[in-house]
Structure formats: C-alpha cells, structure tokens
A and B are shown apart, each in its own frame.
Chain A
C-alpha cells in the first residue's frame, strides 16, 4: 500500500503513473495497460455489488421481490474483485509490508536493497505462477461440465467466468511481479 488511500487525495494526477509510455517501455506499457483495464472492471464491480445489495433490500422490503442469489453472487464477486485488481496493485507496489529493514538498507546499501526487492518480486512471480498452474485444470473442468452455482430451477450462474478471472488475474499478476523483478535487477546493475 502507499499514499493516496483516502478521498482527500483523490484526483491527483499520478493515479495511473504505473503505466509507462509505450515509446519508453513497451512491455511495461502493455502490461500496465492490461492491468489497468482489469483493475477498472474490478472497480466497477464494487459499485455494481453495492447497487445489487440496495436493489435486494428495496425489492424485499417494498416490492415483495427479493433478488435471489445475492449472497452467492456477492461471495463469488469478492474473489473476482481481488484477482482483477491484484496485477495493478503489484505494479503500483501497493501490497502491504513492513518496510523498516528495507528503509534502513535504502541509505546503507542500495545494492542489498535492490537484491532483497528482486528476491521478493521473484517470490511473488513464483507464487502467482503456482496459483495459475493449480487453477487452470479447474477452469477446464468447469467449462467441460458446465459447472454452475445456485439452484436448478431457482437461479444458476456458470462458474467458468469466475475461474477464468482467477486464472487470468494470477497470470497477469505473475507477469507484473516479473516486471517489478526486472526493474529491481536493473537497479541492482546500476548500483554495482
């Protein structure tokens, strides 16, 4: 996480600063652009979730017409929101951490700092690659068996789009972490 976490900071121009211009860093631009698109979908999803809950509350209390399946939809939505936004969070370096050791290193040995950061970013890349690797077969299964959640005859929603989001999101997150690692390796070279 970093600055600008409340409304008072809203509208500052550095919001999408993690997407570099294509001419300078084509890979970063494409990666950042994709992450920004997914992240926007996730952002809109949070708003949609709020409206869905309001619609259910109003429907149930005033129209005798509750919306079936809100709790299941909300449950699946949380996971989707996370995997849609995680790549952008990695590129923005906003994942929570305790940085007191790192801050000491910043002054004392920038080289060691870059080394630490490289190792951490690579670990992140490996972890998300593992998630991708573990999740892909379940996506294939869900597609093949037309897996759904909900109840036959009441409401059913296919699960494959949700599993696809997990797969795509963790794949992009792994690439994002690799990109950060590459960035740190460059710093490492410069520092030595």
Chain B
C-alpha cells in the first residue's frame, strides 16, 4: 500500500470517528498519531511530532489574537452593543420581506468591521438575533442558519485572521489583503440579503412558522418608530469601535495582529462606560472567553498535527503534482484549486487548509498571471465555505452549541445554511472571474 493510499484511509477513519460523535480534537489527534506511526513505521517519530505540535503548533502571535477577538465579541455582547446594532438594523429594515434576517446580515456586516474571527460573530448574534427572530415567527433552525451563514462576513471584511494568515503565507501585504476583502465582503452581504428575500417569497415555510403573522407585523403601521436620537445613541458605541479598530490600523498606530488586543480593550472601555460590567460580571465574561477559546485552539493544535500527518503521507506533494500536471489554463487551475479547498473544508479547519494549500498554490498562481491579492480573496472565500459545510463546520458548531436548544438539531442548522453556501459559491465565481472586485482599491 502506498503512503498516499494510507493517507486517504486515515482521512476516511477521521470522517467516521467525527460522524460517530467523538470529540473532534480527540479524533484528529488519535488518527494523526496512528497515521504517523503506521506510515513511517516509527512510534518514536509519532511521539516527537506530537510533542512538537503540542508545544509549538500554535505558538504564534497570530493565534494569540483568537482569544482576544472572542473577548471583544463577548464584551460587545454583554454591553449590548451587538443587540443595539441589531435593533437599529431591525428598525430600519422592518418593512422589508424577511426584515429580521436582513437585519442579522446587516448587523453582522457592521460587526465584521471590528472582529477578526467568525466565531465571535456567530456567538454574539446567536444570543442577539435568534430569540428575536423566533419571537416573530421565524423558524428556529432558519434563524440559527442565518446567524451561522452571515457570521462568515467576519473573516472577509477586515480585520480578518484568515486574511492575515494568507498574507503571511503568500508574502503579500496584509493591509492590501484587507482592502481587497472589502468589495467581495459587501457583495457577499448583498447576496445574502437578496437570497433571504427571494427564499422568503418562494418558500415561506422554510423561513417562517407563521407567514401570515409575519406579514401582518411587517405591514403594521401603528407601531411607534424608534426616535432618531435613540437610533444614534444606540449606534455610537459600535461606530466608536469601528473607528478605533480600522482607524488605528490604517493610521499606523497598531498592526493587524494587535487589532485584536486593541479592539478587546476598546470593547472593555465601552462596556465600562455603559456600566454593564461589575467585577464579577467581567470575570464571568473572561471565563467564557477562555472556554470558547480553548475549544477552538485545541482544535487548531489537533488540526495542525493532523495536517502534518497528511504531509508525511505525501498529500501536499500529490496535490502539487495534480495541480501542476493538470495542464489546465489559469481558470482550469483555479477551478481545480477551489474544488480541492472545498473538499478539504469539509474535514479540516481554515488555518490548516491555508497552511497546506497556499505555499503550494501561490507560486503557481503567480506564474499563471494571477494577482496574489485577488487569488487570496478567492482562496479565503473558498476556505470560509468550509465553516458551514458538514461534517466539520466550525461556525455551525458555534451557533448550535451557543443556542443549546433541544428543538434545533445540528443537521437542521447545517441544512439552513445551504442557501448561504450557494450565495458564497456565486460570489466566489464572480470574484474569480472579475479580479477587479478584489483589486479595485489596491
């Protein structure tokens, strides 16, 4: 049996264990350890690689931003900045079809400008938007799917951990990547809105438990509109945060990696200013930050160990050969590349996919005449779809576990995100075909 065949067998084993419900980190670590042992026929090597990965697999400033972005998300949530943003969006979009869904997307788009990881958006808006949508006759699973789907905006609209990692791997300007992400991010938000409205008209039962009540609410003219002053007051904190984070980035006060720390501190100040924190509550928020972060970071350690096993099995080289020898033109290459990423997205986390694929593909892409910023946005879009695809979809996991509603199963959330995946694929194709969408402001 070739090592590559073994590699594929171990991918199969991982999928089985994950589907059976094993803790994903355990499954990744166990399969990778066995894999290295078997493929190299060397138990000692498996031990040494395990130690190396545990000690330094995620020892990187980039990963230190994850708990900080999560902390910022929770502080924004506890000080009700997320809720206020959502309420203003809701008020402005009340008369739209699927107004609350659209409001979720809109609030996520604004929130994306301060957070760098999608997990933070997913956790915040599960708490803020899902109860409100349920209350107004939206299906719980659809609401959860909407939150999961729109959370991917957090990683495309700057600041973004994935764009930082891509920039580092492909040696392109991270500031440039951030700018390149803006238009595709807005396209994605616009696409989500159009999709939500279309689906609500065509398949109201997919969206609503009680379409009639929702319609009545939408057309209700008796409701008191929110005064402009209230609206402004509710928006000030999020605007302050956006200005602090993006302004600080583009005037050179801090680097993209430092944005997580500054953003978290800014959110802390906002929370203190709004008197929504006492010492005890702050400690609770920090503890939750720890719990959410550790589950993500442990996954990243495990995934990095697993991708090293795949590397020992020769997978990256096999992919490189496949890509190089395919003999396709630039667009054939891009198609093959995105398909590989989409497949990997089903079983691997975003960072590992970037780590495996970007060093292989970026030089080829450059040789084929692609602009590396454009190529990076295509890559990150494809990688982000993996946040929503089963069996390993981190955003869906986050929404599902944050919601903790026995009536909403994880399969229902996965299926409710399918329309979002469709929109992402459309945007992916558009961005791939029209590089200007990414390079317009570069």
Contacts and interface: CB of A to CB of B under 8 A. Distances in A.
Direct contact between A and B judged by beta carbons closer than 8 A: yes
Contacts of B390: 98
A79 to B, nearest CB: 5
Contact of A10 (B60, B284, B294, B394): B284
Interface string A138-175: 10000000000000000000000011001000100000
Interface in A11-36: 11, 15
Contact of A97 (B23, B260, B265): B23
Contacts of A54: 261-262, 265
A191 interface: no
A53 B258 contact: yes
Interface residues of B, number: 82
A7 B77 contact: yes
Contact of B409 (A3, A100, A135): A100
B192 interface: no
B365 interface: no
Given A43-B289, A95-B26, A138 B51 contact: yes
Contact of A127 (B20, B26, B66, B73): B26
A5 B401 contact: yes
Interface in B278-297: 280-281, 283-297
A43 B126 contact: no
Given A5-B291, A15-B287, A116-B21, 6 more contacts: A1-B401, A49-B67, A86-B298, A96-B397, A100-B410, A131-B54
B170 interface: no
Contacts of B402: 1, 3, 5-6
A64 interface: no
Interface of A: 1-11, 15, 39-40, 42-44, 46-47, 49-54, 56-57, 61, 70-71, 74-79, 81-82, 85-86, 88-89, 92, 94-103, 116, 120, 123-124, 126-127, 130-131, 133-135, 138, 162-163, 166, 170
A82 B281 contact: no
A82 B299 contact: no
A5 B123 contact: yes
A5 B392 CA distance: 19
B51 A57 contact: no
Interface of B: 18-26, 29-30, 33, 47-48, 50-51, 54-56, 58-61, 63-64, 66-68, 71, 73-75, 77-79, 123-124, 126-128, 253-254, 257-258, 260-262, 264-265, 268, 280-281, 283-299, 301, 390-392, 394, 397-398, 401-402, 404, 409-411
Contact of B22 (A97, A103, A162): A97
Given A53-B261, A96-B25, A124-B26, A163 B55 contact: yes
- When A and B form their complex, which 9 residue pairs have the shortest distance between CB atoms, in order from nearest? A7-B78, A53-B261, A3-B404, A134-B51, A1-B401, A7-B77, A74-B64, A10-B284, A102-B21
Contact of B295 (A79, A96, A138, A163): A96
Contacts of B20: 101, 116
B251 to A, nearest CB: 10
A170 B54 contact: yes
Contacts of A43: 283, 286-287, 289-290
B294 A82 contact: yes
Given A99-B410, A130-B33, A6 B51 contact: no
Nearest to B66: A78
A120 B21 contact: yes
A135 B390 CA distance: 33
Contact of B19 (A77, A88, A101): A101
A180 to B, nearest CB: 10
B182 to A, nearest CB: 24
A135 B48 CA distance: 8
A34 to B, nearest CB: 16
B312 to A, nearest CB: 16
B91 to A, nearest CB: 20
Contacts of A89: 291, 294-295, 298
B288 A10 contact: yes
Given A42-B294, A95-B23, A6 B401 contact: no
